[in-house]
Amino acid sequence: MRRAVIVIVGLVLAAARTSATDQWPSFRGPDAGVVADDANLPDTWSSTENIVWKADLPGLSWSSPVVWDDHIIVTSAISAGQEATPEKGLYDPGDQHGKTRSTSLNRWMVYDIDFETGKIRWSRELAQKVPPTGRHVKNSFASETPVIDGERIYVYFGAIGLVAALDLTGQTVWTQQVPAHETYFDMGTASSPVLYKDRVYIVHDNHSDSFMAAFDKRTGAQIWKVKRDEDKTAATWSTPFIWENDRRTELIVSASGQVRSYDLDGRLLWQLSGMTFLTAPSPFARHGLLYFSSGYPGASPRPVYAVRPGATGDISLKPDATSNDYIAWYQPTLGTYQTSALVYGDYYYTLLDRGFLLCHDARTGKEIYGRQRISREAGGFTASPWAYNGKIFLLSEDGDTFVVQAGPEFKLLGKNSLDEMSLATPAVARGSVILRTQSKLYRIARR
């Protein structure tokens, strides 16, 4: 009996060690920002409260950290020169549209940070050159979040067209060079790579030769590459999504021209028109529905779609329609510019870039509460929201994380400040929030 109890306890502990929240392998984690409840996760923090450690990060990057066991992986681009300073908030950058080009040597870096100590375990320089493409002053040359599977780290730097895999000791396993094209108004790239089974997928929509490609994760060999008809539709920063539904597994790419679903060999399954130009939010699924959106404030519509599995062909809505056989619901003005939405429990939460939160029924799209100003102190928002323990966390560009009660009533619970510009969506793993600001990486945990 005693032995059986020990075995069971051992199995439980083993299961706990490998639970989803132990690892945060990709942008927004395994569950699109939703984290399993954990009493150890912090509700409050500041630059001095609940900080296990903080580490200086060189260069500039808005990519998110990813976590596997005690490895925290971050990327960066380090310029040898003086680069334009990013500015907070949504703003009109004037006639130059915020374009900036670097004339300095940049180094594209990958860092492994020790989860326990915050020390750099190793760093790897993958490229050194003057960036051949431009970027928006608020973008970086390393905005794509890496992905990790416990054996390797896969990175994609769209600015220089570099795809690479490293092992967990920092050794380069393979590299692949893909074209690095100029982007809409030199805004740069940000669409992160995705990993599914034995393949790494990337998307690079641009003005001359938009494409998607799949690589063998072990060797880097290109398995296929398909052209995407997005050259005339401006930028896409959305990260593709692998949608495992009850019918099949699909690769979803949300973009300004069309949202397209592909099979895992790049064959088109269905497509949808009706997005707005400049698409940043990333698709995700919950409750058997696929959600995607776009919402540049200066354009119309700013749509959100919830789609059922099994579609084929063109599933675009007819004029004035809000649903069809595959579109469960549609909201024409709910889309955000940068942030991705969050489905937590029964609710679909929209974090407007300019500081408002809205809540809708995730299954029907029915409004639960309309636009709620998060706080008059809140600036702009780029990082996507995350949730645990019945709370929603909203990281502003000022470095303030506003904590909001989950559920059908809006209630602001608090504000946690780190006093530095923050655009990267944090990782949450092993009872800690791993939060990246412009120059630092924080491990935050209840202490």
Partner 1 sequence: MTCRERLAPGLWMLACGVCLLSNASGSAQSAQLVQVGVIPAAAEKVEVSGDHAYLVTGRTLAIFDISNPGTPKREGEYTFPDKIWGIEVVGSLVYAAVDKFGLGIVDVSNASAPQLRGSLKTPGQSKSIALTGSMAMVADHMSGVNFVDVSDPAKPVFLDDFFLDGYARAVAARGPIAAAVDTPTGLYVFDFSKPGKREPVAIRQSADRPGSVKMSDPNAASGLKVAVLLGGGSLQIYDIADPAAPAKAATLRTPGARAQDAALQGRLAFVADGASGLQVVDLEMPAKPRIIGEFKTTMPAHAVAATNTLVLVAVGAVEESPAGSSSAGKGQVLILEHRLRAQ
Residues that bind partner 1 (CB under 8 A): 89-92, 94, 297-300, 302, 333, 354-356, 371, 373, 379-380
Q: Is the peptide bond before 303 cis (omega within 30 degrees of 0)?
A: no
Cβ neighbour number for residue 335 with a 10 Å cutoff? 26
Give the bridge partners for 414, in sequence order.
403
Q: Output the smallest distance, CB 354 to partner 1, in A.
A: 5
**How far apart, in whole angstroms, are the C-alpha atoms of residue 61 and residue 344?**
28
Closest CA to 179 of 160, 194, 202: 160
Q: Which helix (H) or strand (E) holds 143?
A: none
Q: Which is closer to partner 1, CB of 307 or CB of 423?
A: 423
- Nearer to partner 1 (CB atom), residue 173 or residue 299: 299
Nearer to partner 1, 93 or 345 (CB): 93
Name which of 218 and 354 has its Cβ closer to partner 1: 354
Tell me how far, at minimum, the Cβ of 79 lies from partner 1, in Å. 24
Rounded to whole angstroms, what are the CA distances from 210 to 179, 203, 233?
Answer: 10, 8, 10
Closer residue to partner 1 (CB): 247 or 373: 373
Q: What is the spatial distance between Cα 337 and Cα 90, in angstroms, rounded to a whole number?
A: 10
Question: Toward partner 1, which CB reaches closer, 71 or 302?
Answer: 302
* Strand ranges (E), 332-425: 342-344, 347-352, 356-361, 367-373, 386-388, 391-395, 400-405, 412-417
User: What are residue 35's DSSP bridge partners?
Assistant: none
Distance of CA 129 to the CA centre of its chain: 26
Q: Is the dihedral of CA 395, 396, 402, 405 positive or negative?
A: negative
Candidates 229, 243, 169; CA nearest to 201 is 243
Rounded distance between C-alpha atoms, residue 279 and residue 272, angstroms? 14
Cβ–Cβ contacts within 10 Å for residue 308, how many?
A: 17
Q: In what side-by-side order are the strands of the sheet with 386-388?
A: 386-388, 391-395, 400-405, 412-417
| Of 170, 172, 143, 168, nearest in space to 68 by CA | 168
Instruction: Between 225 and 373, name the residue whose CB sits nearer to partner 1.
Output: 373
As measured in angstroms, the least distance from the Cβ of 227 to partner 1 is 30
Residue closer to partner 1, measured from CB, 58 or 301: 301
Residues 114, 123, 153, 13, Cα dihedral to 10°: -10
Q: Which is nearer to partner 1, 96 or 177 (CB)?
A: 96
Between 123 and 372, whose beta carbon lies closer to partner 1?
372
Q: Based on CB atoms, which residue is closest to partner 1, 150 or 370? A: 370
And the tokens for 15?
Answer: 């299961």
- The three-state secondary structure class of 416 is strand
Q: Which two tokens stand for residue 435?
A: 């939060």
For the bound state, the minimum distance from the C-beta of residue 366 to partner 1, rounded and expressed in Å, comes to 20
Instruction: State residue 118 phi and psi, 5-degree precision.
Output: 80, 5
- The CB density around residue 312, as the number of other CB atoms within 10 Å, is 11
